[in-house]
Amino acid sequence: MLLAIDIGNTSITFGLFKGKKLFKVFKVTTALSANSLQRHINKALARHKEEIYSIIICSVVPDKTSLLRKLLKEKLGINANVVGEDLFAPITNLYKSPKQVGQDRLVVAYACKKLYGFPALVIDFGTATTFDYITKDGNYAGGMITPGIEISLDALFKRTALLPEVSIRHILKTRKPDNSLIGKGTQDSIVKGTAKGLTGMCDSLIDKFKKQYGKNVKVVATGGLAEFFKKRCRSIDSVDENLILKGILLMDAGPDYRKICLKTNFP
């Protein structure tokens, strides 16, 4: 099995692959202490310890990267490879300063390119909402970053004196799209404004992308809230919540892995 790990600002996602099949996915909060993280790992991987042959980590939280590497080495006896240090997403990066791009964005772009084709726009609904464009030549061109729902809700509560705190759970309770634009209370107004605001922004930006780069641009949504927004955005073509984990798998098993991804060749 390959153990693919995505360390994000809010959560850490673990994916176990048997061959090309995503066999098991589990998440923990990024803010967990070392002891709590160790307990979760021990419990989740207890039955699969002898089957894991490789670990690849994609991270935007450096402190957690080193901690997780240490814990996994102790638990499994395997040195984890880290994207951006030990291996690299095999996609041409057109950023003016390539090192500024988060490795998660490159891995997601590479996965989209391989699985959905290009040109494409990937929208990742995470702590931040990111838009990443893969050109008609299959290159990573860059994109946009906006605050995600949780950041918006948190800022609204902390920067106002009288507005109540509204959590992401209140947003997710509205499972069915609601066409009404009028909130009947303060909490309802915040829920509608936040969800519909981000939905409207996404549709508007997708329209602009297609106007500038062509109507054949595929739009793929990923991240924990991807399915929620697919039901509300008219312009999203596909949803793949675990796109980054699949990208890590492709880097491990793809034909270009030995030549491009690793700093050094296998012995």
Alpha carbon distance 140, 95 (integer Å): 8
Mean of pLDDT values over 201-225 = 95
- Predicted confidence (pLDDT) at residue 22 exceeds the cutoff of 60: yes
Query: Could you tell me the CA-to-CA distances from 191 to 156, 176, 256 in Å, in that order?
Result: 12, 13, 45
Q: What is the CATH code for 98-244?
A: 3.30.420.40
Please answer whether residues 125 and 221 qualify as being in contact, where contact means their C-beta atoms are separated by less than 8 angstroms.
yes
Which of 232, 236, 202 has its CA nearest to residue 218?
236
Q: Which fold is adopted by the domain 2-82?
A: Nucleotidyltransferase; domain 5 (3.30.420)
Task: With beta carbons less than 8 A apart as the criterion, state whether 120 and 112 touch.
Answer: yes
Please compute, for residue 107, the number of CA atoms within 13 A of its CA located in the half-sphere on the CB side: 30
Question: What is the arithmetic mean of pLDDT over 22-45?
Answer: 92
Whether residue 144 is predicted with pLDDT greater than 70 in this model: the reply is yes
The whole-angstrom separation of Cα 218 and Cα 24 is 28
pLDDT of residue 214: 93
pLDDT at 47 over 90: no
The region of weakest confidence among 21-30, 72-81, 162-171 is: 162-171
Question: Residues near 102 by Cβ (< 8 Å), separated by ≥ 6?
Answer: 60
pLDDT exceeds 80 at position 55: yes
Q: Quote the CA–CA distance of 133 and 130 in Å, as a whole number.
A: 10
Lowest mean pLDDT, pick from 52-61, 170-179, 189-198:
170-179
Cβ(116)–Cβ(218) under 8 Å? Answer: yes
Q: Is the pLDDT of residue 207 over 50?
A: yes
Q: What is the mean pLDDT of the chain?
A: 89
φ, ψ of residue 97 in degrees (nearest 5): -120, 90
Q: Catalytic residue positions?
A: 104
As given in the structure block, the two tokens for residue 157 are 């509560």
pLDDT tens digits for range 85-137: 999 999 999 999 999 999 999 999 999 999 999 999 999 998 899 999 999 99
Q: Tell me the pLDDT tens digit for each residue of 218-267.
A: 999 999 889 989 998 999 999 999 999 999 999 875 444 444 444 433 32
The ranges assigned to domains in the chain are: 2-82, 98-244
Per CATH, 2-82 and 98-244 having the same topology is answered yes
pLDDT of the residue at 256: 47
pLDDT at 132: 97
Q: Do 232 and 199 form a contact (C-beta atoms < 8 A)?
A: yes
Please state, in angstroms and rounded to a whole number, the distance separating the CA atoms of residues 199 and 261.
36
pLDDT at 200 over 50: yes
DSSP state of 258: I
